[in-house]
Copies of this chain bind each other. A is one copy, B any other.
Amino acid sequence: MIVEMVEEARSMLVLEEVTVEDLVDVGSDKKGGGRRGDDTKEAAAGRVDSEECLAPPANFAMVDYGIYRSGFPEPANFGYLDSLGLRTIVYLCPEPYPEANADYVRSRGIRLCQFGIDGSKEPFVKISKDTMMHALRVLLDVRNHPILIHCKRGKHRTGCLVGCFRKLQSWCLASVFEEYQRHAAAKTRVSDLRFIEAFDISSMSQCLLGAIYRYHGLGSRARRLGYHENSS
């Protein structure tokens, strides 16, 4: 009961970026997740000024438990990213990661998974089904969470990956498109919507089941990873 209460209170505190230790004045050497101890103490006391505020990356949103999306994170956003405790970043551009970002992920022990998808405009023929499936597999593996997906603007490549993820979650296409358009706004590309619509999740579902079966060590019950066989 008490454990449950503390857990609930911790969840509540996460919303405020305040740690239990901050509140009950327990001294501790914080490791991870407590980097902003001093700032949060002031925030908790209502002394929030503009210099202490957190700036999420542009076009930032939470996709699902442990999954976030955004445009390209700048150094000004690193403080906010710290608060997410990221384990993985899925980076969808072919360009090398800028030095500041590479330093950041290295210093935080974040795994960088790059899937270089060309960002050129229509015709949008450069996203291969296999690349998208590989990115989805990284995204779906909870051992990689919390995970941030980003490209340059968080509109097209990120929108396509999230769109495919929503199809796996059995969302109606209308809802998938609405979410895509909320992030792409005036930059919506019909070719992206076509890509999402055409993306065949059935082979991906089998791949997923295979991963889950193997994860549970169910041996003979495991389905094979079907997506290489099925992709044409």
Contacts and interface: CB of A to CB of B under 8 A. Distances in A.
Interface of A: 5, 8-9, 11-17, 23-24, 39-40, 43-48, 50, 52-56, 58-66, 80, 140-143, 145, 165, 168-175, 178-179, 182-183, 185, 201-203, 205-206, 208-209, 212-213, 215-216, 218, 221
A231 to B, nearest CB: 13
A150 B11 CA distance: 22
29 contacts: A8-B142, A8-B215, A9-B212, A11-B66, A15-B140, A15-B168, A17-B169, A23-B209, A40-B170, A43-B205, A46-B201, A46-B202, A46-B203, A47-B202, A50-B172, A52-B170, A53-B172, A53-B173, A54-B169, A54-B170, A54-B175, A55-B172, A55-B174, A61-B179, A62-B62, A62-B63, A80-B171, A182-B185, A185-B185
Contacts of A213: 23
How many copies of this chain does the complex contain?
Answer: 2
A53 to B, nearest CB: 4
Given A46-B201, A175-B55, A168 B16 contact: yes
A12 B138 CA distance: 12
A173 B54 CA distance: 9
Contacts of A62: 61-64
Interface SS, A side: helix
Contacts of A61: 61-62, 179, 182
A212 B170 contact: no
Contacts of A45: 205
A169 B15 CA distance: 6
A216 B17 contact: no
A53 B178 CA distance: 15
A58 B172 contact: no
